[in-house]
């Protein structure tokens, strides 16, 4: 409960056991003099997969805050919601990620286009966004493409926002997700999207655009770092301009989805948010589940046996587990180790832990196990093992978020 700070971090926790460990990482940042708002995010798909309800994420967050006597701001994110599934989240969430991917590319009604163009008229002439070298000149073809691709989707975002606002009297924060599409948005397209959100009166606080390169699950960014830097900086400049032009919230900032473990772009983002005095929101989820599995493997005995069982079943159910993540995976099946190749838990942990300096690290293995949380959710003894080997697991979760994520991003 509270405000959305300049820097915020999505502490996704699929099994809702690691809230305290995650909050410890945030408190370590506070010790360094950096305030980061923790935002416990969980999607409807994750709730359905592990058999939890929206209220349980709120309970986890509140419990962690109470256990550590945390007095800072914190939020609970109804992640990737739409009009069909948002209702159970409204009483227990104060951050809503509106996902409009299904509506991008669907054409708006003629009347909607005409009304928006009256609002957008001044930007059909050449204009300048401070910091971007080239002037913005929207061609007729560009305008037609943006109207057909994005206007209807932003109208749908407005419908979801209006529904939440009508039902929820307390303050809440809004993110719009446009990252789950094929192509990254250009600066002009991002500006158009923000204009459309303003037109439909969505006071968006964070926006998650699609960037160039691969944001695969649980592994580092793959792509052209120079191109990413150019896109990220231009997006920051577009947001700054759009806030002034459309009166959007002053705390509007970029959100990076599938943001965990993208270590090669953290220094770039850190440098640019410092340069432009900008905020940033970054979402994580699977990285915490993988630290749970690493902790179990390192604990040996029954816990290591459990980790091997999860991997064995993941290999057998490969197609089922990966089908929903095809666009964000790059697994070379031939490089997946045999389940019986691990002599002990440390070998398993070394292959799974995201340490690119280690010869043992296997990103194919890591990506598959990232998707295998469904298998763990089906095992009745999994929660008991998480409790039994709590100290090792918590240490891993805190270390991973603090050392590998928060510190490089925000200091």
Q: Which residues are documented as binding site for a divalent metal cation?
A: 80, 217, 257
Residue 79 annotated as catalytic: yes
Enter the DSSP assignment of 214: B
- Give the helix/strand (H/E) hosting 177: strand 173-177
Which helix (H) or strand (E) covers residue 198, if one does?
A: helix 187-199
From CA 305, how far away is CA 312, in angstroms rounded?
10
The structure tokens 């037609």 sit at 144
Judge whether 175 counts as a catalytic residue. yes
Q: Which of 175, 261, 350, 394 is catalytic?
A: 175
CA distance linking residue 21 with residue 36, whole number of Å: 15
Provide the residue count of the chain: 411
How far apart are the C-alpha atoms of 315 and 361, rounded to whole Å? 18
* CB of 396 closer than 8 Å to CB of 295: yes
Q: Which residues of 299-322 are buried (b: 16+ CB within 10 A; e: fewer)?
A: beeebbebbbebbebbeeebeebb
* DSSP label of 192: H
Which residue positions form the known binding site? 80, 217, 257
Name residues whose C-beta falls within 8 Å of residue 393's C-beta, 6 or more positions apart in sequence: 17, 18, 21, 291, 292, 295, 296, 386
Task: List, by residue number, the catalytic residues.
Answer: 79, 175
């Amino acid at each position: 409960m509270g405000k959305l700070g300049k820097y915020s971090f999505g502490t996704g926790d699929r099994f809702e056991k690691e809230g305290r460990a995650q909050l410890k990482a945030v408190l370590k940042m506070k010790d360094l003099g950096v305030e980061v708002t923790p935002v416990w995010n969980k999607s409807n798909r994750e709730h359905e997969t592990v058999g939890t309800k929206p209220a349980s994420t709120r309970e986890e967050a509140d419990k962690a805050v109470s256990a550590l006597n945390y007095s800072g701001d914190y939020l609970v994110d109804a992640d990737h919601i739409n009009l069909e599934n948002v209702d159970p989240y409204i009483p227990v969430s104060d951050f809503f990620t509106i996902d409009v991917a299904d509506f991008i590319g669907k054409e708006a009604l003629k009347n909607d286009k005409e009304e928006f163009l009256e609002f957008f008229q001044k930007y059909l002439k050449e204009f300048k966004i401070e910091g971007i070298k080239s002037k913005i000149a929207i061609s007729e073809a560009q305008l037609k493409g943006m109207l057909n691709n994005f206007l209807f989707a932003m109208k749908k975002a407005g419908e979801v926002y209006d529904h939440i606002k009508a039902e929820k009297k307390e303050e809440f924060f809004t993110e719009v997700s446009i990252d789950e599409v094929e192509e990254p948005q250009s600066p002009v397209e991002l500006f158009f999207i923000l204009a459309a959100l303003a037109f439909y009166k969505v006071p968006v606080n964070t926006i998650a655009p699609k960037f160039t390169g691969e944001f695969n699950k649980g592994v580092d960014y793959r792509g052209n770092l120079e191109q990413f830097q150019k896109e990220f900086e231009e997006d920051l400049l577009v947001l700054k301009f759009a806030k002034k032009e459309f009166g959007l919230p002053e705390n509007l900032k970029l959100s990076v989805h599938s943001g965990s473990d993208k270590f090669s772009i953290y220094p770039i983002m850190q440098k640019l948010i410092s340069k432009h005095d900008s905020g940033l929101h970054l979402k994580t989820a699977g990285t915490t589940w993988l630290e749970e599995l690493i902790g179990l493997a390192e604990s040996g005995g029954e816990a290591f046996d459990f980790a091997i069982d999860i991997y064995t079943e993941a290999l057998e159910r490969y197609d089922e587990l990966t089908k929903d993540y095809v666009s964000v995976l790059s697994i070379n099946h031939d490089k997946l180790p045999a389940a019986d190749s691990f002599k002990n838990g440390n070998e398993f942990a070394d292959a799974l832990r995201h340490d690119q300096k280690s010869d043992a690290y296997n990103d194919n293995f890591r990506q598959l196990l990232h998707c295998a949380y469904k298998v763990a959710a089906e095992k009745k003894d999994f929660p008991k093992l998480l409790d039994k080997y709590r100290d090792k697991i918590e240490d891993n979760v805190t270390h991973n978020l603090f050392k590998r994520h928060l510190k490089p991003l925000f200091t």
